Structures are given as structure tokens and as C-alpha cells.
Chain A
């Protein structure tokens, strides 16, 4: 199980923990029920197989009692499970609101837009595909979609919630220990549904606030000649039609915000690493990595692509 990235049974937050508890309860109860009922079935077949003749109806009274007992026991067990379910449901919904962080989540084909909500608009942070949250504080996610139905799901922390265009839905979660928790779109949304992952980075509060602050800053200036050339390529080609890099003229809203893309561990919704070679591969031919995604291939020279990826990887 340690090799598994996004397991329901490896809870890192209170809701996932409640649900995991309910899972194990139901697992053991249903396993016991299965064993008993199947054993009875085999016993019945074995007993009937050895019988000389079928029993006439008049002898059915003890059987009727047994069947009634079985049915009654079934009802009792089901009501017990129902009670456990209701209790867990209330517990999952009962996360407190104190000092909650609020994030607006918008689903796109095939990436995740996260906007940290602040009272002062200039303090809001827009990023993509990597969600940072403070450990031990509740997080409210207000989710919707820009196009088709998606579903936000990070199994280690909470159940999923569908992102439906035209509907704003609120879901709470909280991480109780630091870590990087992988999530994935869980409602079929088209050709690259399979490659629409995201990461939730849970970190101590102070670290989270520093991250948020850093995200508020404008894009850093390129430090190397290659990165500088990369910026020029970025600003003079089609990239600006879709992407935003705050602090430059690029203000496209179709694709992910790239202002601090270099701080993210992955690009293309969890598909590739944020390293020069992977970024270059992505830019050169996104349709090869994610056929059917919205990003078109580029017609840049290899040198330009390398410079571009150098620039992007250093947008920290």
C-alpha cells in the first residue's frame, strides 16, 4: 500500500479518516455476512444433495422461523449500517469554519484553476494544478466548471465533488499532516480526462503564508541569457493568447496562469515534471503528450523551445 499514491485508505485529514473508519466497519460486517450466507448456501446444497427426498410443505415451520430470523437479522444489520452511515455523514459535514482558507476552484478541459479568495482583490492569488493548504486549518473549496462536468477528488483528504457549469458548490477539507496529496478529475470530461490530475501540498501555516505571499508577487525577471531569450519568445508568439504571466503583457485567460509555474512540481495537470526537458517536450507537441487537449503544437525552433522552457522553469 505504501507504493500507492492516492488511496482512500490512507487518510491524511479528518473527513477521509471518518470515511475510512466507515469503510472498515462496512468491510468487516459485509465480509462476515458474505461468509455466513455463502456457507449457508453451500450447506443447503450439501444437505439437499444428501437428502433422500424433498420435505413436504407441512414441515416448513422450523424453516419459516429460520428464514424470519435471517430476515430480521438482515434488517437489524442494515439499520446498524444506516446509523453508522448517518453518523459518519454528519461528521464529514461538521468541519468548523474558523480561520478557514477559501479557494475558488474552476475546472477546465483539462486543468485546474485555483483562486485564493481574499477580501482585498489585489491580494487574491490565481494559480493552477497545485493547491497549497495549511495543515490543521479548514479549507473551503467553492467549485464550478467553465465547460463540462469535472470532479474534484483528493482521496487522502475528502470525498469528491462534481464541478458543474452554472452551479457553485462548496466542499470543505482539511489536512492534519504535511505532505503532497495527489488528486485526479473523477468525472469523465473528454479526451484527456485521464491526464487531469492535481496536487495538494499541505504545509505548516507559516510556510503556507510565505508561499501565498510569494505567489502574490509579480513574475521574477529572467536571470540568464537563455531565460531572457525565452521570455522574448514567450511574449512574441501565441503563448500570450492563452496564458498569463503577471508583470508582463501576457494576460491570456484560456490556459493556466504561469506567473509562478516554476514553483510547481508538475505541469500539464500532473503529467510531466517541471524540468527543462519535460517542459520542452510539452511545448513542442502537447498533442503528443495529451492528444485532444486544448494546447496546440508550436512551430518554434529547437533552440527557441529550449530557451522558452528555461524561462518557464525559472518563473519561481
Chain B
């Protein structure tokens, strides 16, 4: 009763050629695209930062004026926060969550494909604008009144505002898919306490995305409405309030950093578990820490606004919450240390980056507790101290884990091993460079250097430390180049990886490297949280799914009992066409509000094309007319799933 492997692979493969590439709804292909595009964004934004550091390396540097510098720092921040950090984590989720839960596909594959094209569109749009001298120029958070039409009559803030909505649609789509995948497509036997920590992190993050992204969409929409059709949300002369923007923005902005950090902790948990050869210590505590971090993270946003003069009582609440959130993160830290302490540790390349994570993120988290304190905050807010802090937590909490994830999962995605030696060099250069660049910034901030200044006077005394900081950028760049060169080389010249080169415990390592088109020849069931290590060789596999269509097993949310089968969609061009239509609407809306009305028509058409069924498909549900219902209602038993 086992499926025909060849037919199965053909069913799940993309069509060949450019057409097949454009129509793909394979989560692995889309995940790779997300990771690749996000890497390009990282390099572009890093390049902008290098130019910024060049400008600041000495006082009164005539290299560039404020107009260019303002676009550089605004685009750098906007890219890193919206076009790199969140998409790269979501890209990892898109690729690995279905594999880790034992599913053949991600939920809503066409929507995930659409989300990628939207993301790509946003990236192209932003950088085209920058090269046309219309890049955002009022910071990555674009506060009014500075970003209002009166003070910035160019199109630059409009570019910023619409790019936000554009790319946030992509993030929201992926979040819903990841939640649904984890809820409904888990392998039989994968009870809540057997879900891999990386998947927990992705689900928690996805919920945060669902609740946080609407806030930034409302803020940026209100801003563009003020600019385009003369609403007065932030116009104090007509009853509006500049602080409303800040509240809306930071209600998103604070959870945003946890949206970036929590998947990072999922990576850390994964890698420490694998390379300590033992289950994560305190699984339940770590899961609860993730959840409580997410909740508390929604209650911190005013700490970005302490300098506006918030009343003492309110400020105290947000100080307390901002300090308390260190507790769940501390719990995770101690559990990781305990896991390594009692494990058998192998210091392979991913673990090197983990050590870097411990050093860098710890420093960043500790300066975070400093910034939580209102008195200290009102001194160092909006200075390079904050720049140092957030680079330590973001690069420490996301980029170091991402490098580790890169070394860990490249063999699975590509099928080849990277070089341990190159990894060590890359790590060393990047780690030294990073600390050289960002540690002095703590001191610069304490010495009074504000953020977002294109130059400074020599008498301030900031010159020497700025030069040190700028020189660190060279090392960071060198480290990144080493890693990229190795990745390029290993594509064809690396040692073959095999299914499980790290002897890791989770399900993605039970399939080939790269994974089969269908992910698993036989979808697995699990009997533990660490299937490769702890399941018996006898652990059952799922049979009975069709191999002539994209048949996927849907299980029950709580107990993962097999519930029904669902035929997933074939590759389709409609997600791309819909993304193009949506993008045209967004671009048009920068120039006129009517674009929203006219632009909706092509979107409507493409969505009809998307959802219209082609024919009674081979999914096995009855064509009509028929005589009775065969699909079960929620309270009915599924039909015979026999173990």
C-alpha cells in the first residue's frame, strides 16, 4: 500500500523552465527565495552602513552632505528592519516549519508564493527609489511633523509609507500560513510537548506579527493620508497629535524587535540541542518564556517615548515591564547553559556563532535594562548609546543565530557541507569587527553624540572613537565575504552532506539533502520530541495519501489524530499576477489616492483567477449534483484512519 515514489516526486515537482519557476508554490523554493533575497537586502543595507561609517570616520567630513546621509541611514534602518530581519526569519520558517512538523507542504502555498512576490516588489521599489534620489530620508520611523507634506514635500516619505504596507502584507500572509501549518498539518503523534522549539518560536512570532503589523500599517496609512488627501491625524493645528503616530508606530515597533529576536532564540535552542546531544533542558520553561516574552513585549512600547515627558506613573509602569521582560529571556539563557553543561558538546561551526550570540546578545540585553530606566534613558535616548544597544541585541540576537543557522542548515538545503575553517575565519573577523564598530558607540553616546547626524565638530572630541568604529566595519565586511565565498564554493565543491550530517534530532533531518519534492516519501508519525534520537525504529509512517495529486494529511489541532486529507493546489501563475497588480496599486497610490480605487480592479480580476477552480479536481470530493454529503462536519468522526 505504499505510494509510487516516482509518481509522487513528479506530482510535487515544479514544472521545468522559467514558467515553472514563476508558478512554483513549493515552500522550499519560496523559502530559498526569501533567504536569498533577504541576504541581498542585508548586503545592500550593510553597504549603506559602510558608507555611513565612512562619512562619520572623521569630523566635518566633506564626503557627503545631509541630503544623501539622511537617505542612507533611513534606508539602512528601513531595509534591515522591514526587508531583512523579519523576512529572513519568516523565510526560514517557510522552508523548515513544514519539514519539522512532518508535512508535505506549508498551508496556503499560493498565498505564501504571493507573499514572496510582494516582498520582492517592496525591495525593488525601495531600492529603485533610493537610486532615483527618492529614498526615505526621515529615519526608519518617519516621525511627523517632519515627515508631513509641509516639511518634506518630496515623495520620499510616501515611498517609505507605502513600502511598509506592501511588505507587511507579505509578513502577515506568511504568519497566517505558519500558524495554520503548525495547528493543522502536524504529524500524528506530535503533541504540543513534542513540537520542535524552532516551530514554537515561529508560531509565537507569527502571532506577534498578526497583532503588531496592523499598528504600523495604520501609522503609515495615516501618514500617507495626511500627505496625500489632507487628513489631520498628526496635525496639531487641527486637533491631531504628533504623538499618536509614535504610539501607533511603537505599539508595532517594540513587538517588532521580539518578532526578530524570538525566531533567533528558536535557532539557538535548535543548535544547542543538536550540538549538546541531549534534549533541551527545561522544554516547558523555554516555551512559556517565549510566550510570556511575546505578551510582555506588547506592553513596553512607551519606553521609546520617555523623552516626550510621559507622566511619572505611566513611565514607571513601562520601566518595570521593560526590566521584567529580562526574566523570561534569562530563563532561556540558563536553560541553554544547563543543556550544554550536561550535554556532550561538539564545537562545530554553528556552535562558534552560538558563542558569539552569548557574548553579543548578553551585552545588548544588559544595556537594555539600562535603557529601561527612565532617568538613564532620558540621558542616552537618541544617542549612539542606543545605536550600540540595538545593534548588540539585533545582531547578537538575530544575525549571529542566522549565521549559525546558515552553517547548520545549508547542508540540508543545498546538500553540501561548508568549510569549518572558513567558518572560523568568518566568525573571527565578523566578531572582532562587530565589537570594534559597536562597542565604542556606547561611550560616544555617553559622551553626548546624538543619532542621525551627518557630521560633528572636532571640538566635541568624538573623532577618535568614530574612527575606531569605522575601522571595525572593514573586519565585518571581510567576515561576511569569507562566508559568502565559502557558500559559493560549496555549492558544487563541498562534501556531500547526506541526510543528517549533524546527527540532529528533528524531522527535517530524516529526509534527503536537499529534501525530496514531496518532503517525505512516507509522511512520518512521531513518538517523542526528538524523533531521530528517541523514536523507535518501528515508529509508524503514514500511508494512503494519493501520489497522483498533492495530497496532504490534515490532523486535529490538539491531539494530532488524522482528521482528513486535503488536495493542495498545483503550481499557479496567479499569485505572481496578483502581486504585480497589488504592487501597481501601491506604486500608484503614492501619486494619487484614486489609485486605490482603480488599482483594485486588476487585483479583483487576478484574485478571481486565483480562486476559480479549474475543473472538478481530482481531489476526490464529489462533483455535483450528488445525493448526500460525504465530508464530515466538525462534530463527526473522521472516517476510518487505521493505525
A→B interface (CB under 8 Å)? 1, 3-9, 16, 18-19, 22-23, 26-27, 30, 33-34, 37-38, 40-45, 47-49, 51-57, 59-60, 63-64, 66-67, 70-71, 74-75, 78, 81-82, 84-86, 88-89, 92-93, 109, 147-149, 151, 153, 155, 158-162, 164-167, 169-171, 182, 184-194, 197, 270-271, 291-292
Contact = CB atoms under 8 A, between A and B. Distances in A.
B511 interface: no
Contacts of A60: 281, 338, 342
A8 B242 contact: no
B327 A169 contact: no
A54 B324 CA distance: 33
A20 to B, nearest CB: 9
16 contacts: A4-B460, A6-B460, A37-B358, A44-B337, A45-B340, A47-B341, A49-B345, A55-B343, A60-B342, A66-B334, A67-B331, A71-B331, A88-B373, A151-B307, A162-B308, A184-B450
Contacts, number: 265
Contacts of A75: 327
Contact of A43 (B309, B320, B341): B341
Contact of A193 (B307, B347, B453): B453
Contacts of A52: 344
Contacts of A22: 373, 375-376
Nearest to A60: B281
For A53, A86, A147, the residue with the greatest tally of chain B CB atoms inside 10 Å of its CB is A86
Given A45-B355, A78-B327, A89 B375 contact: yes
B307 A159 contact: yes
A271 B319 CA distance: 36
A166 B56 CA distance: 34
B233 to A, nearest CB: 13
B316 A159 contact: no
B316 A55 contact: no
Contacts of B460: 4-6, 182
Interface in B239-276: 241-243, 276
B490 to A, nearest CB: 26
Interface residues of B, number: 87
Interface in B189-233: none
B355 A41 contact: yes
A54 B367 contact: no
B440 interface: no
Contacts of B327: 71, 74-75, 78
Nearest to A184: B450
B342 A55 contact: yes
Contact of A184 (B242, B344, B377, B448): B448
For B279, B307, B452, the residue with the greatest tally of chain A CB atoms inside 10 Å of its CB is B307
B237 A166 contact: yes
A159 B375 contact: yes
Contact of B369 (A30, A158, A194): A30
A209 B324 CA distance: 48
B307 A78 contact: no
Given A89-B316, A148-B146, A192-B66, 5 more contacts: A6-B447, A34-B363, A66-B338, A71-B331, A186-B383
B307 A34 contact: no
Contact of A6 (B237, B279, B316, B448): B448
Contact of A161 (B307, B346, B374, B445): B307
Interface stretch (B24-32, B118-126, B137-145): B137-145
Nearest to B241: A166
Contact of B323 (A78, A93, A149, A185): A78
A314 to B, nearest CB: 25
B451 interface: yes
Interface in B294-348: 307-309, 312, 315-316, 319-320, 323-324, 326-327, 330-331, 333-335, 337-338, 340-347
Given A30-B369, A48-B344, A148 B145 contact: yes
B362 A38 contact: yes
Contact of A30 (B67, B335, B370, B383): B370
A167 to B, nearest CB: 8
Contact of A5 (B366, B373, B453, B461): B461
Contacts of A63: 281, 338, 341-342
